[in-house]
Amino acid sequence: MIPPLNLRGGAIQIRPGEGFNNLVIFNKRYIAAQTIGVFIFNLFFGLGIIDAIVGGLQTLVMTWIVYQVTKRIKNTFGNSPHQL
């Protein structure tokens, strides 16, 4: 049986926080906010300090890459999210 919100892990996980990673295309402040949030969550509900550090670093690197890549994509629909 799968718990309704399996936050601690297992074969199937529901991770709503991963959806927030894409917000970084609108504002680079979300890089720090998402990284800190992942670190705190993994520290208390993850597998300990190693999980918090590795998960936080993974989120930091991934969101920074997404921001850098999307900053260089030409927007043909009007204003770029980075100009807002």
Residue 33 resides in a domain: yes
More confident residue, 14 or 2: 14
**Predicted confidence band at 81 (pLDDT cuts at 50, 70, 90)?**
low
State the average pLDDT over residues 50-76: 89
Residue 35 resides in a domain: yes
In the predicted structure, residue 59 carries a pLDDT above the cut 70: yes
Residue 17 to residue 15: CA distance in whole angstroms: 5
When divided into structural domains, the chain yields a total of 1
Residue 18 resides in a domain: no
Residues spanned by the domain of 41: 26-72
Q: How many CA atoms lie within 13 A of 84 on its CB side?
A: 10
pTM above 0.85? no
**pLDDT score of 26:** 86
Residue 8 resides in a domain: no
State the average pLDDT over residues 11-21: 73
Residue 78 to residue 84: CA distance in whole angstroms: 11
